[in-house]
Amino acid sequence: MFEFASLWALALLPLPLLMYLLPKQKQANTVALKVPLAQIHVMEAQQSASTSNKPRHILIWLIWLCLVLAAAKPQWLGEPVSLPNEGRDIMLAVDLSGSMDTPDMTINGREVDRLTMVKYVMSDFIQRRIGDSLGLILFADTAYLQTPLTRDRNTVSQMLDESVLGLVGKRTAIGDAMTLAAKRFKEKENSNRVLILLTDGQNTAGNVTPEEALEVVLEENIKIYTIGVASDKVLGGGWFGFGKRSASADLDENLLSQLAKATGGEYFRARKTSELAQIYQHLDRLEPISSETLQMRPLTSLFYYPLAVALLLTVLMALSALLSQQLGLNKLAMRNSKNG
């Protein structure tokens, strides 16, 4: 929408016309001065040039119009943009240990490993968290911050999609992931702190135990939702059935449940793709996206356009005056040469 921020300035438009219509004061009689003949010719040349001043008057009016329009501060208001009034800070901690390559999950009838399934489902969860700040922690032998807390959901989703198994080892450092999340949350004040920790195993590495990390998490008032990823399938198949084992044999559900309960969160078990999708939908209800929004309309000032036109017209008028004067002098020189 187009508008003028200082609409009152448009009242100045007829000011030059009013000045023109005001009664002019009669000039008093003055003593005549003797003017040299050459100067008379110059004055005649200037007077003849002034007989065609109509274009110049038009330029002056256009310049005044542009200056008044610039003073009225024209501006363009864009479409309203909704900004979240308050969002949550959610840190996603994803297990990249070696067991995440177990192919016990299915997507659209195709068997895939656990990490592929997590990427497939979690990307949709990330895109739905409009207004929330999301961060991504990847952990195996240790934990590292892949993406700091940001509202750029596309970047978080891309960083998750580009993660690969074996990047930081093959074991599982749950305690390190919790401690790193607490450290990142500590840098932000007045934050609704939520950690979603996803793993398929038990703590087998790291510098901090889950119990020690839990104390730090409780001090920082962080709520943890834990997700155990493992199907109930039986894996392996050696001679006479030897070597077979449950796909969830390494999943420490007791630990994950204790961590969630101690912080006021919940523990979920994802045995298949549809269950993980339902878990994220349930998390949307437990940690709802803020519905309160602020309306903002982007504003673009346009005053410099009429101002630039006024400057350009002023330059053109000055050049035109110089050219007219030069033409008058040329005519005078030609007349003098003929008379001489």
| pLDDT tens digits for range 80-95 | 766 555 567 899 999 9
Q: Return the residue matching tokens 């420490």.
A: 252
pLDDT of residue 7: 86
Helix (H) or strand (E) holding 293: strand 293-296
Give mean pLDDT, residues 315-327. 81
Res. 236 pLDDT band, cuts 50 70 90? low
pLDDT of residue 32: 47
Query: Where do runs of H (alpha helix) occur along 220-303?
Result: 253-263, 273-286
Please give the mean pLDDT across all residues of the chain: 82
Res. 323 pLDDT band, cuts 50 70 90? confident
Give mean pLDDT, residues 135-149. 94
Res. 244 pLDDT band, cuts 50 70 90? low
pLDDT of residue 3: 84
pLDDT of residue 138: 96
Give mean pLDDT, residues 47-54. 54
Question: What whole-number distance in Å separates Cα of residue 180 and Cα of residue 222?
Answer: 12
Give mean pLDDT, residues 247-275. 91
Which class for 46: exposed (0-12), middle (13-18), buried (19 or more C-beta within 10 A)?
middle
Give mean pLDDT, residues 270-294. 80
DSSP per residue over 20-53, as a string? HHSPPPPPPP-------HHHHHHHHHHHHHHTT-
pLDDT of residue 137: 96
- pLDDT above 70 covers what percent of the chain? 80
User: Please, what are the domains in the chain?
Assistant: 2-20+36-78+299-339 (no CATH), 85-293 (3.40.50.410)
Res. 51 pLDDT band, cuts 50 70 90? very low
Task: Answer with the residue of higher pLDDT: 48 or 115.
Answer: 115
Count Cβ atoms below 10 Å from residue 310 Cβ, excluding itself. Answer: 19
pLDDT at 280 over 70: yes
pTM: 0.61
Q: How many residues does the chain have?
A: 340
- Measure Cα distances from 194 to 17, 243, 322, 327 in Å: 69, 40, 74, 81
pLDDT of residue 220: 92
pLDDT of residue 195: 95
Q: Is residue 327 classed as helix, strand or coil in its secondary structure?
A: helix
pLDDT at 184 over 80: yes
pLDDT of residue 143: 95
pLDDT of residue 79: 78
- Measure Cα distances from 12 to 18, 213, 307 in Å: 10, 71, 16
Task: Answer with the residue of higher pLDDT: 3 or 144.
Answer: 144
Give mean pLDDT, residues 118-144. 91
Res. 40 pLDDT band, cuts 50 70 90? very low
Question: What whole-number distance in Å separates Cα of residue 64 and Cα of residue 13?
Answer: 7
Res. 237 pLDDT band, cuts 50 70 90? low
Q: Which of 157-161, 191-195, 304-308 has the lowest mean pLDDT?
A: 191-195
What is the amino acid identity at position 233?
K
pLDDT at 38 over 90: no
